Structure 1
Amino acid sequence: MSLVTLENALSKIGKESYGIGAFNVANMEMVMGAIKAAEELKSPIILQVAEGRLRYSPLHLIGPAMIAAAKAASIPVVVHLDHGFSMEVIAQALELGFSSVMFDGSAYVLEKNIDMTNEVKKMAKKYGASVEAEIGKVGGSEGDYKSVEMLITSVADAKTFYENTQVDALAIAIGTAHGHYKEQPKLQFKRLEEITQIIDCPLVLHGGSGLTPDDFKNCIQHKIKKVNIATASFENIAHKVGEVAKRSKNNTFFQYLDAVLEATYENVKNHILIFGSQNKG
């Protein structure tokens, strides 16, 4: 199946009730672990890296590994730039061969967000790539960027934005947050329903790590089609690596790499089963 666009992957869902997991990766072992889980479960998958993490995973190094893995995979794989803020990084991702990019203009007023998103759409069109955008603000912190306060997406703003951009996917804020939750999130399903009634666009849930399986399933039933997972993977890796370190003081470098791969595989497999995308690839 190999490398596909975000628009292609999400359009295959149609009226079925499942979501596709978008898993942030930071090195080759995470890429390998994520693909291993998706192939085992015959699930489509989205591999992504956020601009805020590029200090740890430079795009010119991690990008080609993600693309090579996608092209060799037996299932559909989207290679996506998550939370792209700068035109330079978005352009670099497209030039490398990413099949999808996200422009996060949520910090701007609506009109500027629309204008800049349309500029990104023009850039992406030259490469046949998809575009995700964001309306409202998902709380917490993405990568090395400063934490922001949550701003639930306005129905009117979502309508105006989509009518003027026709993006391939739209990230909305309904009560989730990036990183760790200080308290159990209160998801705004009524707002989600209101938005799905007025725009016909695949919706994206950011800040998925920390939600319960029922939270995810409710979101998917309310037409969320792309679900982002980052923190859960990174935390599982830290835990697994810590377990290896405790077992022996004579571990090899490669035992730690195996732990990274296995921890990613476990977390991705678990979420694919929750999202219901197994056997959809």
Structure 2
Amino acid sequence: MALVTTKEMFAKALKNDYAVGAFNVNNMEIIQGIVEAAKEEKTSLILQVSAGARKYAKPVYLVKLVEAAILDTDLDIALHLDHGEDFDICKKCVDDGFTSVMIDGSKHPFEENIRLTKEVVEYAHSKGVVVEAELGKLAGIEDNINVDARSATFTVPEEAAEFVEKTGVDSLAVAIGTSHGAYKFKGEPYLDFERLKKIHSLIPDTPLVLHGASTVLPEFVKKCNDYGGDIPGAQGVPEDMIKEAAKHGVCKVNIDTDLRLAMTAEIRKHLAEHPADFDPRKYLGPARDAIKGMVQHKIKNVLNASNIK
């Protein structure tokens, strides 16, 4: 098997109303836990690398770890750049062997976002690499604004159609109410499904992407806090909302916070119960298993993608 693009994955997802999990990776144990889950569930898989991961582990290490995962599991895996901030980082990742890159020009005015995205698309496509872009802005982890104010940053459906036509981008991340981090909602969770349906109706053949889509399961927040953590009030996107989004063009769901919670909760638990342990393998092994369990839960209960290659 090999590193692959997301084209075939997304085509099947669009046809069958499910989403492919895109899991952020930072080290060996996280990668191993994710791919073991995908192997058992026989599902498509996207591993993605953020700016923080590139800084922490260096791209060359992560690329080689993903290549090792393919050899070990015989899976087809898409290696994706998450939130590339400019043309140069996207070009570097394409040249380094990534099969998918995201250019995030959402901070720029509409026309500049189009120009930048088109530049990345032209280069990436010349190398056989697919491109994700973003239109609209997700709230930050500490934002405390009401739905009406937040709507000003949501993706405008008509602009989404124009953007895709002018850039030739392969997939589009849309803003409908999710946010990054563990504190996604201050009150009742809200996603603008009518907006999503409108976007999908205008660009039905374009795979849509949902960023900030961790569910922040309460039991893992509690486990972290029970063993010395301090993350009160964390709240994510309810699982039923993720399932509903997959019925309206969302083919890729980004998951990072849930992996961090699962891993950290298990490490805290192990160290609290075994204070004499100082061998990292003693606590990283169970943490890897926790990652695997979380990913299996997502594949089977949230993404509806189990046994779909």
Q: 1:187 aligns with which of 184, 191, 206?
A: 191
1:255 aligns with 2:282: yes
> Do the aligned residues in 1 keep the contact of 2:22 with 2:254 (CA within 8 Å)?
yes
Q: Secondary structure at the match of 1:12?
A: helix
The count of aligned residue pairs is 277
- Counterpart of 1:40? 40
Q: Which amino acid aligns with 2:12?
A: K
Q: In structure 1, what is the Cα distance between the partners aligned to 2:165 and 2:154?
A: 19
Within 5 Å, give how 1:55-94 maps onto structure 2: 55-70=55-70, 72-94=72-94
> Do the aligned residues in 2 keep the contact of 1:6 with 1:130 (CA within 8 Å)?
yes
Q: In structure 2, what is the Cα distance between the partners aligned to 1:76 and 1:167?
A: 22
Q: In structure 2, what is the Cα distance between the partners aligned to 1:226 and 1:220?
A: 8
Q: Which moved more, 1:179-188 or 1:156-165?
A: 179-188
- Counterpart of 2:255? 229
Moved over 6 A (4+): 146-149
Within 5 Å, give how 1:1-281 maps onto structure 2: 1-70=1-70, 72-140=72-140, 151-179=153-181, 180-183=183-186, 184-199=188-203, 200-209=205-214, 210-251=236-277, 252-273=279-300, 274-281=302-309
Q: Which moved more, 1:152-161 or 1:175-184?
A: 175-184
Per-residue CA deviations over 1:209-257 (Å, capped at 9, x if unaligned) read 1212211111111221100000110111110100110111222211122
Q: Which moved more, 1:53-62 or 1:159-168?
A: 53-62
Q: In structure 2, what is the Cα distance between the partners aligned to 1:182 and 1:241?
A: 26
> Do the aligned residues in 2 keep the contact of 1:44 with 1:77 (CA within 8 Å)?
yes
Displacement of 1:138 in angstroms is 1.4
1:198/1:213 CA distance change after superposition, 3 Å = same
Q: In structure 2, what is the Cα distance between the partners aligned to 1:28 and 1:91?
A: 25
RMSD: 1.9
State the TM-score, normalizing by the size of structure 1: 0.93
Q: Secondary structure at the match of 1:256?
A: helix
Q: In structure 2, what is the Cα distance between the partners aligned to 1:190 and 1:17?
A: 17
1:267/1:247 CA distance change after superposition, 3 Å = same
Any gaps of 5 or more consecutive residues in structure 1? none
Q: Which moved more, 1:106-115 or 1:179-188?
A: 179-188
Any gaps of 5 or more consecutive residues in structure 2? 215-235
Q: In structure 2, what is the Cα distance between the partners aligned to 1:4 and 1:13?
A: 16
State the TM-score, normalizing by the size of structure 2: 0.85
Q: Secondary structure at the match of 1:275?
A: coil
Displacement of 1:14 in angstroms is 4.1
Q: In structure 2, what is the Cα distance between the partners aligned to 1:124 and 1:190?
A: 32
> Do the aligned residues in 2 keep the contact of 1:67 with 1:98 (CA within 8 Å)?
no
Q: In structure 2, what is the Cα distance between the partners aligned to 1:148 and 1:229?
A: 22
Q: In structure 2, what is the Cα distance between the partners aligned to 1:125 and 1:230?
A: 27
Q: In structure 1, what is the Cα distance between the partners aligned to 2:131 and 2:86?
A: 14
- Counterpart of 2:218? none
Q: In structure 2, what is the Cα distance between the partners aligned to 1:67 and 1:95?
A: 15
> Do the aligned residues in 2 keep the contact of 1:70 with 1:78 (CA within 8 Å)?
no
Q: Which amino acid aligns with 1:82?
A: D
Q: In structure 2, what is the Cα distance between the partners aligned to 1:147 and 1:166?
A: 32
> Do the aligned residues in 1 keep the contact of 2:87 with 2:116 (CA within 8 Å)?
no
Q: Which amino acid aligns with 1:177?
A: S
1:124/1:96 CA distance change after superposition, 3 Å = same
Q: In structure 2, what is the Cα distance between the partners aligned to 1:121 and 1:22?
A: 20
Per-residue CA deviations over 1:86-120 (Å, capped at 9, x if unaligned) read 32322221122111000000000111111111111
1:172/1:11 CA distance change after superposition, 3 Å = same
Q: Which amino acid aligns with 2:212?
A: G
Q: In structure 2, what is the Cα distance between the partners aligned to 1:222 and 1:14?
A: 9
Q: Which amino acid aligns with 1:271?
A: K
Identity %: 36
Larger Rg: 2
